[in-house]
C-alpha cells in the first residue's frame, strides 16, 4: 500500500516520542490520529512546539478500558498502530505500582485484544523498554539477553513485551516490540534527569546561585537522540516479518560524564555546582544499561548517528535559544 493511503494511530501522542513520530509520519504522507486519555483538555505542548498540532486528529482513548480502546480502533481502522501510552516514570512506578501495571500491561493487552476481536490486519508497534533487562553488568544487551526487571515499571513493560510475543505467535499478528534504550530531546520534561541537568546548568550560567542535586552519579546509560529512534519504530513496521529489536547507540556513559560535559558546554566546572542526595536514588537502581543494536543495523538498515556528546550539544544549544 502506498504511504499516501496509510493511516496511523499513535497512543500517547502528547509525549516526546509520540510527537516526533507524528511529525515523521506526516512527512511520509500518512493520515495521523493520536490519542490521550482526555484529548479535550490535554495541552499537547510537544505537538505545538513541532508546529503539527493542526495536522493530527486527536481522540480520547483510555487503553486500560477495553470499550474505549475498541471504539477508537474500530473508528480509525488504522493500518499501523504505535502504542506509546502508559506510565513513563520508573521512579513514580514505585509509588504507584497498580496504576503502572494497569496503564502499561492492561493497556497493551486491550489493544491486542481489540485487533483480534475486530480481525483488523493492522501492524502493531509496542514501546518495550531497556528497563526490562535491568543491570546489564557492562555487557551490551541484545534481543537474546534475559529480562531482569527491578522496578514495577520494568515488570509492567516485561509483561507487555511477552503479551506482544504471545499474540504474534498465537494469532499470527504483525506485532513487534521496540526495546529502546534512553533517548533524549528538548521535548523531554524536566523530571527526566537529562533535562534537569541541562536546564540547571543553563540557569547557573545565567547567574543563578542554585545547586543541582542528584542521586547516583556513577550509573551508566546508553543515551541516544529521540528523532532517530522514532524512525526505527517506523522501520520495524515496514519490515517483511514482525520481530523485536533493540534500539540503542551501543555506547554507555556515566551520569557523571553527562553532567561534566553539560556544564562544560556552559564553561562551568560541575564540581562547584552539583551536590548529592541519597534520597534521590531509586530502589534497586540499575548501575549499567547498554544496548547492542546490531540486529537493527543488519535487518532494518538503522543505526544511531548521534551519541551522548552530540545529544548534549543540541540540548545545551536549545536551552540557550541558539537552536
Average pLDDT over residues 51-72: 97
The alpha helices in 82-192, defined as continuous H runs, are: 90-95, 97-101, 107-118, 152-171
Indicate which residue of 20, 46, 93, 131 is catalytic.
131
In the DSSP assignment, the letter for residue 270 is: G
Q: Looking at the domain that runs over 193-220+252-289+307-319, which CATH code has it been given?
A: 3.90.25.10
In the DSSP assignment, the letter for residue 232 is: H
pLDDT digits (tens, 9 = 90+) for 17-30: 999 999 999 999 99
Average pLDDT over residues 150-170: 97
In the residue annotation, 129 being an active-site residue is answered as: yes
Indicate which residue of 20, 30, 125, 153 is catalytic.
153
Q: Where in the chain is the domain with CATH 3.90.25.10?
A: 193-220+252-289+307-319
Q: Where in the chain is the domain with CATH 3.40.50.720?
A: 3-184+224-250+292-300
Decide if pLDDT at 211 tops 50. Answer: yes
Q: What is the pLDDT of residue 3?
A: 47
In the residue annotation, 153 being an active-site residue is answered as: yes
Q: What is the pLDDT of residue 29?
A: 97
In the residue annotation, 228 being an active-site residue is answered as: no
Relative to beta strand 57-60, strand 31-36 is: parallel
Mean pLDDT, the chain, integer: 94
Indicate which residue of 46, 68, 128, 129 is catalytic.
129
Q: How far is CA 172 from CA 116, 240, 292, in A?
A: 10, 14, 27
Percentage of the residues of the chain whose pLDDT score is greater than 70:
98
> Domain 3-184+224-250+292-300 - what CATH class?
alpha beta
Percentage of the residues of the chain whose pLDDT score is greater than 90:
87
Amino acid at each position: 500500500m502506498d504511504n499516501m493511503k496509510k493511516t496511523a494511530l499513535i497512543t500517547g501522542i502528547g509525549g516526546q516520542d509520540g510527537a516526533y513520530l507524528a511529525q515523521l509520519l506526516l512527512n511520509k504522507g500518512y493520515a495521523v490520529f493520536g490519542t490521550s486519555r482526555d484529548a479535550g483538555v490535554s495541552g499537547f505542548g510537544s505537538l505545538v512546539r513541532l508546529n503539527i498540532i493542526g495536522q493530527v486528529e486527536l481522540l480520547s482513548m483510555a487503553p486500560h478500558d477495553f470499550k474505549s480502546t475498541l471504539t477508537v480502533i474500530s473508528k480509525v481502522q488504522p493500518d499501523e498502530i504505535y502504542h506509546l501510552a502508559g506510565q513513563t516514570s520508573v521512579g513514580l512506578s514505585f509509588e504507584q505500582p497498580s496504576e503502572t501495571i494497569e496503564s502499561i500491561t492492561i493497556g497493551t493487552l486491550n489493544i491486542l485484544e481489540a485487533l483480534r476481536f475486530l480481525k483488523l490486519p493492522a501492524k502493531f508497534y509496542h514501546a518495550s523498554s531497556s528497563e526490562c533487562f535491568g543491570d546489564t553488568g557492562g555487557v551490551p544487551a541484545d534481543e537474546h539477553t534475559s529480562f531482569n526487571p527491578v522496578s514495577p515499571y520494568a515488570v509492567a513493560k516485561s509483561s507487555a513485551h511477552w503479551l506482544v510475543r504471545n499474540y504474534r505467535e498465537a494469532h499470527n499478528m504483525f506485532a513487534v516490540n521496540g526495546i529502546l534504550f534512553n533517548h533524549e530531546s528538548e521535548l523531554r520534561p524536566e523530571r527526566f534527569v537529562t533535562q534537569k541537568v541541562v536546564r540547571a546548568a543553563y540557569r547557573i550560567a545565567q547567574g543563578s546561585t542554585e545547586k543541582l542535586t542528584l542521586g547516583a552519579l556513577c550509573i551508566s546509560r546508553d543515551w541516544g537522540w529521540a528523532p532517530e529512534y522514532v524512525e526505527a519504530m517506523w522501520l520495524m513496521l515496514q519490515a517483511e516479518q514482525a520481530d523485536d529489536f533493540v534500539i540503542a547507540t551501543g555506547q554507555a556513559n556515566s551520569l557523571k560524564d553527562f553532567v561534566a560535559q553539560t556544564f562544560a558546554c556552559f564553561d562551568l566546572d560541575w564540581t562547584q555546582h552539583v551536590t548529592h542526595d541519597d534520597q534521590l536514588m531509586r530502589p534497586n537502581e540499575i548501575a549499567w544499561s547498554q544496548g547492542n543494536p546490531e540486529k537493527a543495523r543488519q535487518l532494518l538498515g538503522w543505526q544511531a548517528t548521534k551519541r551522548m556528546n552530540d545529544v548534549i550539544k543540541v540540548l545545551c544549544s536549545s536551552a540557550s535559544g541558539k537552536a
